Structure 1
């Protein structure tokens, strides 16, 4: 089942209008959330002559890393749309993009990344005011509604609270295949960028932290307790949580207060971008009515769906 993503029309509008010229359309999102699929669909629909760079490929990385302006101009000559997929893999990516925007006029540029760990800083410094940022979430209930209709939405919601909303899951029919996919995803691959960027050779501490966070969704988080659970100091826990946020695995939500000073001092809750990943970490794919964590699962669903809805309104 193909599910049209809301970002498709938003990005396509920029590609077709003049405001997309000589600017970078920056597409962030978790790994396997469908960024490359979306980009390929946009390439088909925009009717622009396109050049696609798969930056996960070592040869492409070598080609683009430290490239001179003269070689860059020659490489992209004749193309209207340039796509750099997983651009965080390119050394000096900010410099390369700045060269394109400043000296190679008349191009539309899409840059995607599964992590904002390093890419955001390098691009922000060099492209201030010349980029438009989009965050791609797992599939939303609103997107599902457009495909399955009201009558089937409740079934899909129950399914989502078990398995989450990653696009590839909708190609799988058997629960066992879905569970195997999520168990594989919830291992090192999901937070590969954290391990590589911080040169963490033993991911066990990250895994223990994620399991602890999965058990605590809907509760105010104590970094001291997490440090004791994982067996590291509090500073390390705070660093790991920050890295997991920037890799779009979890996000923090601050408590609301009408008093700004009180709000700043209140604890935060931590939620998962996708419940399927969270349930895979706990190895618990039980149906919603059989779960002993119904309240936590429901709260996480409502929070992240509200974030998706807000993103759709931009």
Structure 2
């Protein structure tokens, strides 16, 4: 293919530019857009200069590989190529890969489609690791044409544009740009990557933790010129396969990020190991994510009702309160009423009704002192402590952004007695974050004076019972969430009756059939676990509304088994099979 040149034609009194070139003996021509003229003209001039030069372009690449990058004034951002790129990917090559790797691989090795690939998600969900693993598996020839750009808030879109031009001149064709949403002008100028560089033959992968910024840019600038891969949701099967750690309780405690030490992954500290680390994650990965994206979008013109909370520095507090209560009613009452822990109320009720060792210990603790300590641990403010009163628009907008971040998801709750009633159960996609707050609950209990007077054996039994209750509810929501995501053509919901409920119904509207489930944290088979599944009245009502019941199942932590008409399914095997 020849370098070609630009010619001009006058049509109806207006002058138009056309790019002409020869390929396989045939002459081609296309019109040059106004906004690409300067770029194309400069590129043609440079290509002609390169062609007339005796200097081999590969010598430039070798020089780039060996010289210290701080000494290269032509690069304005932090760029890894050559030897630095090798040192960058080598440490992760023995780690197992997330499932998104295949989609990233297909983009790099597929035909050019003028689109960029966006790899985005909350912090510590494996984005940069996927990129490093992909570069490490490239051939030596491809690696010579690959660059990794690490951005920070001190960089601008103009800096990136400058460096991409330099890389293009040097023959680079695969460019990975990390933390691109830290550019204050990214949302407004994101089309640069697709319209100029991807359209010019580069494969451009953009990654970053400000997920909301990518959502805004896709709507504002990139439209259909990007491929979106969102890494935030990590199902149980990936937790076990990639980290090399099995067990639903481990997933409940640490699930949600890829930063738990395991035989197949890295040795970072647990992101949700403590309440402080969990709060730091909410602050940096979620609250600041929302704040930064809103600040950069439409010149801070999209804060809507959240502007007053942001200005008062209370947006993080509001998000923390929502995350803590996400397993319960997500309503304005939760945000404005005096803070109380739902976990405490539910556990107190269950302990009073315990068949073996009933106790009213949770009724006798100092609730005021307990609540004060719990509030301190969860960084939550009461209504009286807020300078800005949280309103319904605040709640709605925060919920919208949490959904866009894939942090929350609604599970329908159907009332068989009133099918017109519409309720949802808000589930958190990162269970470790929820469990960290449960751990704070136990810590607060230990600080209560009344509770400290209980003998240690009884105290430990109570602590275990509370945590078992929490794990049981969390396991139920994990199964509901992962089933819903894995079966998009089916309806997944809880079904409530006048007395009792099915923990999960999977309804196939196309074939008019359903499956019903109970979800139990126990590892033992017990007859009472399936009493609702065996209730002929409940089953008849369900079949009338949702078609033939194909199977009745109990999902639990024990081995796969069968009890009469009931299938007992191991929870880990069930989740891995989705």
The two structures share one fold, judged by TM-score above 0.5: yes
Contact in 1 for aligned 2:322/2:330 (Cα 8 Å)? no
Residue from 182, 192, 210 that aligns with 2:320: 210
Indicate yes or no: 2:122 matched with 1:30: yes
Contact in 2 for aligned 1:161/1:275 (Cα 8 Å)? yes
Alignment of 1:172-187 (within 5 A): 172=267, 178-179=273-274, 182-183=277-278, 185-187=280-282
Contact in 1 for aligned 2:156/2:184 (Cα 8 Å)? no
Residue from 317, 335, 345 that aligns with 1:226: 335
Structure 1 unaligned blocks of 5 or more: none
Q: Distance in 2 between matches of 1:100 and 1:84?
A: 10
Residue from 242, 254, 267 that aligns with 2:423: 267
SS in 2 for 1:270: strand
Match of 1:103 in 2: 196
Match of 2:404 in 1: 246
Q: Distance in 2 between matches of 1:161 and 1:188?
A: 21
Contact in 2 for aligned 1:55/1:61 (Cα 8 Å)? no
Residue from 469, 474, 478 that aligns with 1:292: 469
Bigger Cα displacement from structure 2, 179-188 vs 3-12: 179-188
The structure whose residues are more often helix, as a share, is 1
Bigger Cα displacement from structure 2, 226-235 vs 76-85: 226-235
Q: Distance in 2 between matches of 1:116 and 1:245?
A: 11
Bigger Cα displacement from structure 2, 298-307 vs 36-45: 298-307
Q: Distance in 1 between matches of 2:290 and 2:465?
A: 31
Contact in 2 for aligned 1:140/1:308 (Cα 8 Å)? no
Alignment of 1:129-148 (within 5 A): 129-137=224-232, 139-146=234-241
Deviations 1:15-34 (A, max 9, x none): 1111x542111112111212
Match of 1:280 in 2: 436
Indicate yes or no: 2:258 matched with 1:167: yes
Q: Distance in 1 between matches of 2:120 and 2:134?
A: 16
Contact in 1 for aligned 2:116/2:193 (Cα 8 Å)? no
Alignment of 1:115-126 (within 5 A): 115-126=210-221
Deviations 1:132-191 (A, max 9, x none): 111113543222444588xx633xx21111122421112459889933784354352122
Contact in 1 for aligned 2:120/2:229 (Cα 8 Å)? yes
Q: Distance in 2 between matches of 1:42 and 1:143?
A: 18
Indicate yes or no: 2:219 matched with 1:127: no
Distance 1:187-1:115 versus aligned 2 partners, 3 A rule: closer
SS in 1 for 2:232: coil
Q: How far does residue 220 in structure 1 lie from its aligned partner after superposition?
A: 4.4
Q: Distance in 1 between matches of 2:120 and 2:203?
A: 17
Match of 1:50 in 2: 146
| Number of positions where the alignment pairs a residue of Structure 1 with one of Structure 2 | 298
Structure 2 unaligned blocks of 5 or more: 1-93, 296-309, 339-381, 384-389, 443-462, 489-575
Larger radius of gyration: 2
Contact in 2 for aligned 1:185/1:277 (Cα 8 Å)? no
State TM-score, norm by structure 2.
0.45
Q: How far does residue 6 in structure 1 lie from its aligned partner after superposition?
A: 0.3
Contact in 1 for aligned 2:210/2:293 (Cα 8 Å)? no
Contact in 2 for aligned 1:223/1:238 (Cα 8 Å)? no
Distance 1:253-1:13 versus aligned 2 partners, 3 A rule: same
State TM-score, norm by structure 1.
0.76
Q: How far does residue 305 in structure 1 lie from its aligned partner after superposition?
A: 3.2
Deviations 1:91-132 (A, max 9, x none): 443565433433331111111232333332223333332211
Residue from 17, 23, 38 that aligns with 2:110: 17
The structure whose residues are more often strand, as a share, is 2
Distance 1:144-1:247 versus aligned 2 partners, 3 A rule: closer
SS in 2 for 1:169: coil
Distance 1:43-1:161 versus aligned 2 partners, 3 A rule: same
